[in-house]
Amino acid sequence: MLNQIILVGRLTRDITVHKSDKGTKVATIPLAVPRSFKNMEGTYDTDFIDCVAFENVATNTAEYCKTGDVVGVRGRVQSRVVEEGDKKTTVIDVICEKVTFLSSKKNVEEAE
């Protein structure tokens, strides 16, 4: 069996790291990932996917990457159940195992 996901996209906002209740460093990495095919109108749709990173992956990504940078994320898909009152909802998370810094918006602006 295999549970692996690879995403390449642009950061939609700066990353902030916070500590969980158990003291673990956690960051949400917000990616805009364009689809590789055009829709019926002839344009490319974009999926907005939040990825969760922990400890060193979270702190390094927050330190070196900013809004507009292109990153690659390798990780796994994980589900969890969230309870609000008497309602249960299953949430799917992308857990980052590795983040690769591909290009920064600054480098693109300098090249133009």
> Tens digit of pLDDT for each residue in 4-22?
999 999 999 999 999 999 9
What pLDDT shows up at residue 103?
84
DSSP per-residue codes, 30-92: EEEEEEEEE-TTSSEEEEEEEEEEEHHHHHHHHHH--TT-EEEEEEEEEEEEEEETTEEEEEE
pLDDT interval class at 77 (50, 70, 90): very high
CATH of the domain spanning 5-103: 2.40.50.140
What pLDDT shows up at residue 83?
93
- The 10s digit of each residue's pLDDT in 23-49 is 999 999 999 999 999 999 999 999 999
Can you give the residue ranges of every domain in the chain? 5-103
In this predicted structure, the answer to whether residue 112 has a pLDDT above a threshold of 50 is no
